[in-house]
Each structure stands twice: as C-alpha cells, then as structure tokens.
Amino acid sequence: MTIALSPQPAVIQAETVFDAAAVARVVEAAFGPGHLARTAERLREGRDPAVGFVARQDGRIIGSVRLWTITIGGAPALFLGPIAVERTERNAGIGAELVGACVDWARQARASGVLLVGDPPYFERFGFQRIEGAAMPGSVDPARLLWLALDAVAAPTGPVRPD
C-alpha cells in the first residue's frame, strides 16, 4: 500500500543570495524569455533588489517577488515585481502572500509607497490604485500602472527612474 503525502504548505521567507538561480527559473517559467524586454525591466536591470521574498514548499522555491528602489519625479519609492508562481501552484493564494510580504516590508521600512504594473482587479484588494502622472521609461498601459500610498502624501508625479 502506498500512501501519498500531501505537500507541505508554502512558507514565505526573505530571499537569500543562494536563491538567485531558483528565482530566475521560476520567473523564466512564468513569463518566458520575452519578460526581459518589458518596460518594467528597465527599472530592474543591472541592480540588486531592496528585498525579495520567496515561497518555499518541500524545500524548493515555487514563487518569488522583489521590491526595487526607484524615484518618481525625484521622490523615493519602491517598485514591486515581478511576481512569479509556478504554474502548478497558481490559484492557491501564494501570489497574494508574496505581495502581502512586500507591502508589510515596505510599511516597516517607512516607504512612501509602492508602484507596480499589474492587473487592477487583483491588486486593488491590497489597496493599490491607478496613479496619474507617473511616467515609466517606456510604453505601459496607464490603466495597469498602480500605486499603494503608505504615507499621507499625495502620489508623486514625474519620471520613474531606478534609484
């Protein structure tokens, strides 16, 4: 008789330097090689993230997300992404847990806010709203450019640049 053990639940942890290759595999599997051509990648290329989080299940990485330092019109902020979860693990809430870890970290770091490019219906539950007047370094659908204010100051405007 064989007993199939169900996998352990995913655990969200801070990314370590030893996770880089596994994170790259998860992101590549989720988005394909074309993800490097996206506008959002201009804010990440050649830089280290401010922080990253991974979802581990049974010792392997099944999801990842990172925050990057940016400026919007010269004001410091954070940029979230990419969020990647293995295809077989999607719809289990892992992406939401990863986003929640980033938002918690940004609050503790006293960031002014978090910018991302994403699907409004998904991210509105975390408090993200469309931002007006932030200019990405390339083409982005303005309806998908979202901001989560973490302080009482109005959303910044101007060019979005790596910090």
DSSP string, 104-127: HHHHHTT-SEEEEE--HHHHGGGT
Per-residue confidence band for 36, with pLDDT thresholds at 50, 70 and 90 = low
Q: Cα–Cα distance between 26 and 12 in angstroms, integer?
A: 15
Q: Tell me the per-residue pLDDT of 98-156, one tens digit each, with 9 for 90 and over.
A: 999 999 999 999 999 999 999 999 999 999 999 999 999 989 999 999 999 998 678 99
Q: Is the pLDDT of residue 6 over 70?
A: no
* 105-119 as b/e: b if 16+ CB within 10 A: bbeeeebbbbbbbbe
Q: What residue has token string 């007006």?
A: 132
The mean per-residue pLDDT over the stretch 14-40 comes to 85
Average pLDDT over residues 25-41: 78
**What is the value of pTM for the model shown?**
0.90
| Mean pLDDT score of the chain | 91
